[in-house]
Amino acid sequence: MAKSEPVNYKLPSGFDIELLPGERRLEIQVMDTIRAVFERYGFAPIETPCVERLEVLQAKNSQGESSQGDNIIYSIHPILPPDQPGEADKDSGSGEIRALKFDQTVPLAAYIARHRNDLVFPFARYQMDMVFRGERAKKGRYRQFRQCDIDVISRGDLSLLYDAQMPAIIAEIFAALDIGPFLIRINNRKVLTGFFQAIGLAEEKIKTCIKIVDTLEKVGPTKVKQELETLGADPEQADQILTFTQIHGDADQVLDKLSHQCDSLGSPEDFAQGIEDLQQVIQGVRSLGVAADRFCIDLSIARGLDYYTGTVYETSLVGYESLGSICSGGRYDDLVGIFVGEKMPGVGISIGLTRLLRRLMEAEILKPLPQSPAQVMVVNLDPELMPVYLQLSQQLRGVGIGVLTGFEKRGVGKQFQQADKLGIPICLIVGPEEYAAGQCRIKHLGSGDQIDVPLEAMVETIRQQLGSGE
Amino acid sequence: MAKSEPVNYKLPSGFDIELLPGERRLEIQVMDTIRAVFERYGFAPIETPCVERLEVLQAKNSQGESSQGDNIIYSIHPILPPDQPGEADKDSGSGEIRALKFDQTVPLAAYIARHRNDLVFPFARYQMDMVFRGERAKKGRYRQFRQCDIDVISRGDLSLLYDAQMPAIIAEIFAALDIGPFLIRINNRKVLTGFFQAIGLAEEKIKTCIKIVDTLEKVGPTKVKQELETLGADPEQADQILTFTQIHGDADQVLDKLSHQCDSLGSPEDFAQGIEDLQQVIQGVRSLGVAADRFCIDLSIARGLDYYTGTVYETSLVGYESLGSICSGGRYDDLVGIFVGEKMPGVGISIGLTRLLRRLMEAEILKPLPQSPAQVMVVNLDPELMPVYLQLSQQLRGVGIGVLTGFEKRGVGKQFQQADKLGIPICLIVGPEEYAAGQCRIKHLGSGDQIDVPLEAMVETIRQQLGSGE
């Protein structure tokens, strides 16, 4: 075939999220594990399209908060086919701008607005969709990636027990993924806000102050103190804040210290309420059986986003803290109702799967699976016997075993090699003589062991060899 | 909460593919079924990003054929956040246009070009990604939809047995989905081309002629004859073509008639080769055990796309032919190698899942699942007992049962109602007295039956009640 005009077939920068088949098989396995945990807690799947109206994505709540943050949104525009000039996109005449979603939260709010009469509340849903962010591409930063989110949304009040359930779900997922010890760090924004108010920080500075505190782990205490003072905190306040966010100990010790601090500040209502909420959540987490070494209270955790109003979570992988938070989220009381003008508090968590998986593979904590999901290769020894090979293949598939039939005319050695490269553990070999004798040979590529069995015992023998791996 | 500026939260036209949770659960079930069949035949999963360079999507092979057809492609462009004017998308300075993929075939070709050194060939892969087409929106036509595709791609020759395997896979999928009888219609473009050449149709008219024949079922023979004559076929040729495409009977009868026709036309080489190929494929389909009433040869099937070079498939649901083809595909010898200038023949099929699922639900052939994946609701009878409710919930989850714990303070009747609306079959009821006596009540909402059992027998009793549904 003549080579056409050379085309640059590389992926655009930031979209290089493509996995090899064995890596993608691992990703699907991980997604199945996550999904199973979500479903055990009663979360139902939804999926929203990649495209929404831009005004939906940029919607703000009554506090002027949106979930856009610094994210750059992609709009989409139809390109006419080269041979169809003149045929225009009629809908765009409406002037409506269509754009790719950059998170799952705003689309969830829109989904609920669109379908609220068909949903049962509290509405617990999970979503594992792709999101798109037009940010500057950096290593480990993608412009398209998959987020695995759960959220519970209520009309009216939403029990704090839903907040307590999130760490249990996180713990169950990361235990099931078997990627080593992890630590779920829990905080409550009301505790931070209440404390900042109590030490006399001006109301309009509190959100910025929370964002500064959130960078503590990244930039260290000296920088945080500097930034707090730049913001207008006096040195004493800055010291108080630093001391406060560094309170440590097990959850009970931290709650105890918080109570004392609250008393010593004259028990201001908001601060006291925050502590009370945090306490309830911790109690729930314990009742749900989350091991004591899997969670803690960390008063420096705040999450960057404006819209969180209560509980917040981050999760780090012990020994791999540089990976950053592998699962984060929190409570937001005023975001989901924006489209319908109704109070709809919610709480949720999110796993940035694309980035997490890539990093777990890089750190060799998770390893790709073989390229092929087949477990048996039926070797093509004699093309005359192809009808037999096809029937044997179907027999194995009939009991749920993945099979690759050798269609190519290659030497047996080449076929073993192919099976080996694909990660197929077993080869089934039937030559004319074996077939005439009603026999077949089953070869285990890993060990090199092979046995001859009657054809009618073939399926059962292979099943046994695959054992629990089947 | 004060209502913000009213935002139109409806989905943009053509993107209204959103499903309710029970419908999405059905979609996932269907996808799992399809995926299991793909994997039993050794197809490995991949996923390519939604975004590629436009020049990749519009690439043509040496025959000037692309898979774009009439599809309008969406390009993407970064929009700056409202509060960050001035911060531009640096990458777009390269002038490279980025666009959303409109099918899986061209991205597969690009994927293979990008990763060919890490893949084992023949490369059998499946993909269930979203694609985007900027066409005029019509009822039942979407601008974003999911396609479930498999393709086998080879370097060098690709055995016709891969073509034979496709109908076996189609048959297994639709049998597993249990949506009633279906018919796989098989043809070979070489047969059509060979015949058209043999009756003296000019070479440059053959592709158009194939497209006209492909509309036979839709527009009827009179219109097809007219169009053939408009194209420049003389009335006798038009008649011959119509008679030819309407040859019917079982596969052997059709092959027989084709052989006679070929003989009577002096056995032209291309025609004879087409018949030989078709025969081999049919033989393979039979050896793979596809039932005789599930497939046929239909000489009017051609598929609209230019790039098919051999076997082509369509599948119709018997009694629901108006749904159109529910699974189509074919052999293409000159498409996948375009980026690397190498011959890489392929054969594949595609299920347009978004449209198919919607139509199967509309026709009530498939019904949505309940909103919730939970199978048990732990009723909140006494908030004091919440730690007990949480522990019982975790016990059930521990054996893989989905549980919703009642966190709201609602009457028991309301909680039953909620469980019922969510489609949760079983409620677990523990009041203070029951708890003190070490007992619990298990209520089956469908039948209304309830039994009291000791707490230690709870998990086992519920497991049995859920039976195979678990």
CA dihedral B278, B282, B283, B286 (to 10 degrees): 170
pLDDT given for residue A5 in this prediction: 60
* Helices B235-245, B206-214: inter-axial angle, 10-degree rounding: 50
Beta-carbon separation of A43 and B18 below 8 A: no
Q: Taking residues B82-99, report their average pLDDT.
A: 62
**∠A266-A269-A275 over CA atoms, to 5°?**
95
Beta-carbon separation of B73 and A84 below 8 A: no
Nearest to A125 among B21, B80, B342 (CB): B21
Nearest to B45 among A21, A341, A404 (CB): A21
Burial code of B415-424, b = ≥16 C-beta within 10 A, e = fewer? Answer: bbebbbebbb
Q: Which residue of A has its CA nearest to B370?
A: A44
3-state secondary structure chain A: CCCCCCCCCCCCCCCCCCCCHHHHHHHHHHHHHHHHHHHHCCCEECCCCCEEEHHHHCCCCCCCCCCCCCCCEEEEEEECCCCCCCCCCHHHHHCCCEEECCCCHHHHHHHHHHHHHHCCCCEEEEECCEEECCCCCCCCCCCEEEEEEEEEECCCCCCHHHHHHHHHHHHHHHHHHCCCCEEEEEEEHHHHHHHHHHCCCCHHHHHHHHHHHHCHHHHCHHHHHHHHHHHCCCHHHHHHHHHHHCCCCCHHHHHHHHHHHHHHCCCCHHHHHHHHHHHHHHHHHHHCCCCHHHEEECCCCCCCCCCCCCEEEEEEECCCHHHCCCCEEEEECCCHHHHCCCCCCEEEEEEEHHHHHHHHHHCCCCCCCCCCCCCEEECCCCHHHHHHHHHHHHHHHHCCCCEEECCCCCCHHHHHHHHHHHCCCEEEECCHHHHHCCEEEEEECCCCCEEEEEHHHHHHHHHHHHHHHC
Beta-carbon separation of A371 and B14 below 8 A: no
Beta-carbon separation of A40 and B403 below 8 A: yes
Look at residue B86 and give its three-state secondary structure.
coil
Nearest to A99 among B49, B79, B122 (CB): B79
Beta-carbon separation of B113 and A9 below 8 A: yes
| Alpha-carbon gap, residue A181 to A149, rounded angstroms | 22
Between residues B119 and B65, which one has the greater pLDDT? B119
Give chain A positions within 8 Å (CB) of B337.
1
Contact A185, A314 (CB under 8 A): yes
Beta-carbon separation of B46 and A80 below 8 A: no
- Residue B99 clears pLDDT 50, i.e. is over it: yes
Instruction: Write the pLDDT tens digit of every residue in B227-257.
Output: 999 988 899 999 999 999 989 999 999 999 9
Q: Which residue of A has its CA nearest to B48?
A: A18
Of the residues B108, B354, B407, the best mutation for testing chain A's interface (the one with the most A CB atoms within 10 Å of its CB) is B407
Q: From its phi and psi, is residue B329 left (phi > 0), alpha (psi between -120 and 50) or beta? A: left
Of the residues A73, A103, A120, the best mutation for testing chain B's interface (the one with the most B CB atoms within 10 Å of its CB) is A120
Partners of A454 in beta bridges: A439
pLDDT given for residue B67 in this prediction: 76
pLDDT given for residue A84 in this prediction: 56
Nearest to A59 among B4, B59, B343 (CB): B4
Q: Which residue of A has its CA nearest to B18?
A: A48
Q: Which residue of A has its CA nearest to B374?
A: A42
Give chain B positions within 8 Å (CB) of A21.
44-46, 119, 125
A with B: how many residue pairs have Cβ under 8 Å apart?
372
B87 pLDDT tier (thresholds 50, 70, 90): very low
Instruction: Write the pLDDT tens digit of every residue in B299-308.
Output: 999 887 778 9
Give chain B positions within 8 Å (CB) of A342.
1
| Alpha-carbon gap, residue B457 to B287, rounded angstroms | 51
Q: Which residue of A has its CA nearest to B20?
A: A46
Beta-carbon separation of A12 and B52 below 8 A: yes
Nearest to B408 among A15, A159, A408 (CB): A159
Beta-carbon separation of B373 and A39 below 8 A: yes
Nearest to A45 among B24, B46, B89 (CB): B24
Beta-carbon separation of A343 and B1 below 8 A: yes
B335 pLDDT tier (thresholds 50, 70, 90): confident
Give chain B positions within 8 Å (CB) of A161.
386, 390, 405, 407
Contact A106, A26 (CB under 8 A): no
Nearest to A84 among B70, B76, B373 (CB): B70
Beta-carbon separation of A59 and B7 below 8 A: yes
Q: Which residue of B has its CA nearest to A113?
A: B9
Q: Taking residues B404-428, report their average pLDDT.
A: 96
Give chain A positions within 8 Å (CB) of B28.
45
Beta-carbon separation of A114 and B49 below 8 A: no
pLDDT given for residue A469 in this prediction: 45
| Alpha-carbon gap, residue B230 to A49, rounded angstroms | 43
Instruction: Write the pLDDT tens digit of every residue in B16-48.
Output: 999 999 999 999 999 999 999 999 999 999 999
- From B13's Cα to the closest Cα of chain A, the distance in A is 8
Beta-carbon separation of A289 and B391 below 8 A: yes
Nearest to A78 among B7, B61, B72 (CB): B72
**How distant is the alpha carbon of residue A258 from its chain centre?**
32
pLDDT above 90 as % of chain B: 79
Give chain B positions within 8 Å (CB) of A70.
81, 84
pLDDT given for residue B83 in this prediction: 58
| Alpha-carbon gap, residue A405 to A428, rounded angstroms | 9
- From A229's Cα to the closest Cα of chain B, the distance in A is 25
Beta-carbon separation of A53 and B12 below 8 A: yes
pLDDT given for residue A91 in this prediction: 53
Contact B428, B392 (CB under 8 A): yes
Q: Taking residues B397-423, report their average pLDDT.
A: 96
Of the residues B24, B29, B89, B120, the best mutation for testing chain A's interface (the one with the most A CB atoms within 10 Å of its CB) is B120
Beta-carbon separation of A373 and B110 below 8 A: no
- From A235's Cα to the closest Cα of chain B, the distance in A is 31
Strand A376-378 relative to strand A426-429: parallel, antiparallel, unpaired? parallel
Nearest to B49 among A17, A111, A386 (CB): A17
Between residues B67 and A233, which one has the greater pLDDT? A233
pLDDT given for residue B232 in this prediction: 85
pTM of the model: 0.95
- From A237's Cα to the closest Cα of chain B, the distance in A is 30
Instruction: Write the pLDDT tens digit of every residue in B169-208.
Output: 999 999 999 999 999 999 999 999 999 999 999 888 888 8
Q: Which residue of B has its CA nearest to A79?
A: B73
Of the residues A11, A77, A80, A288, the best mutation for testing chain B's interface (the one with the most B CB atoms within 10 Å of its CB) is A11
- Residue B277 clears pLDDT 90, i.e. is over it: yes
pLDDT given for residue A94 in this prediction: 63
Q: What letter does residue B178 receive in the DSSP assignment?
A: T
- Residue B2 clears pLDDT 70, i.e. is over it: no
Contact B129, B104 (CB under 8 A): yes
Poorest-pLDDT segment among A208-217, A386-395, B81-90, B460-469 = B81-90
- From A247's Cα to the closest Cα of chain B, the distance in A is 28
pLDDT given for residue B218 in this prediction: 86
- Is the reported ipTM for this assembly greater than 0.90? yes
- Residue B437 clears pLDDT 70, i.e. is over it: yes
Show the low-confidence residues of chain A (pLDDT under 50).
1-4, 85-90, 468-470
Q: Which residue of B has its CA nearest to A134?
A: B78
Q: Which residue of A has its CA nearest to B124?
A: A372
Nearest to A100 among B76, B387, B403 (CB): B76
Instruction: Write the pLDDT tens digit of every residue in A417-469.
Output: 999 999 999 999 999 999 999 999 999 999 999 999 999 999 999 999 998 44
- From B65's Cα to the closest Cα of chain A, the distance in A is 11
- Residue B88 clears pLDDT 70, i.e. is over it: no
Contact A171, A287 (CB under 8 A): no
